[in-house]
Structure 1
């Protein structure tokens, strides 16, 4: 048994849920979280993304949007994300991980999330007392 932990963009929550259901996942938990990954150090990428985000923000006479975008790009603020946890049989892990990747990969070259796969030593179904693989 494995636990799959996926941290994804908030706007990919629906696509991730659909991908998990379509891949046959028995159940999962989703939690709103905040965090940040590795800082982007490529100045061209940062500049291009800043221009794109400022255009999306529209008119900003107060400068608040530019400050938020700058903080976001240089790493002084946390990003809202969704954390999914899934218990899976060993033979299903690759299929589930691929479904998560397919639902979350973008062309932004940064910030698409992370997936962690961890071993699970035991599971207990509270209602029936079943343990191990049958409790998943």
Structure 2
């Protein structure tokens, strides 16, 4: 039995939910979180995204520019969604593949992370079932 933790972009929440349901996941929990990943080393990626984000706003003031810059250089947290999924060991590769397919973008940064952890036990509160039967 494993726990899969997937941290994804907010605009990919619906795609991720759909992918999990289509891959046969029995249930999952989603939580709004804030965080940031590794800082981008290729400054040209940030420069291009900065230009795109500033072009999307109607304002070109110093406050907006500061927010966009902080968002891209890692000094601000990013809003994300964290999915927690319990799965049987043999289902894990299929679930991971579906999460990756739903979340991979052409942005080359910030597509999320997936962590797989062992779970020693699970208990279904309603019935008292334990272990794999509780999933």
Place the TM-score, normalised by the shorter chain, in its bin: over 0.9
Partner Cα separation in structure 2 for residue 66 and residue 74 of structure 1: 12
Partner residue, 2:52: 52
**Offset at 1:127?**
0.8
SS at match of 2:64: helix
Partner Cα separation in structure 1 for residue 10 and residue 64 of structure 2: 19
After superposition, the CA RMSD in angstroms is 0.8
**Offset at 1:61?**
4.2
SS at match of 2:47: helix
Partner Cα separation in structure 2 for residue 102 and residue 61 of structure 1: 35
Alignment of 1:11-26 (within 5 A): 11-26=11-26
Gaps in structure 2 of 5+ consecutive residues: none
* TM-score where L is the length of structure 2: 0.97
Partner residue, 2:107: 108
**Offset at 1:81?**
0.1
Partner residue, 1:93: 92
Partner Cα separation in structure 1 for residue 129 and residue 14 of structure 2: 31
Partner Cα separation in structure 2 for residue 19 and residue 56 of structure 1: 29
Gaps in structure 1 of 5+ consecutive residues: none
* TM-score where L is the length of structure 1: 0.96
The 8 Å contact of residues 122 and 132 in structure 2, kept in 1 or not, is answered as yes
Alignment of 1:1-136 (within 5 A): 1-57=1-57, 59-136=58-135
**Offset at 1:65?**
1.9
Aligned pair count? Answer: 135
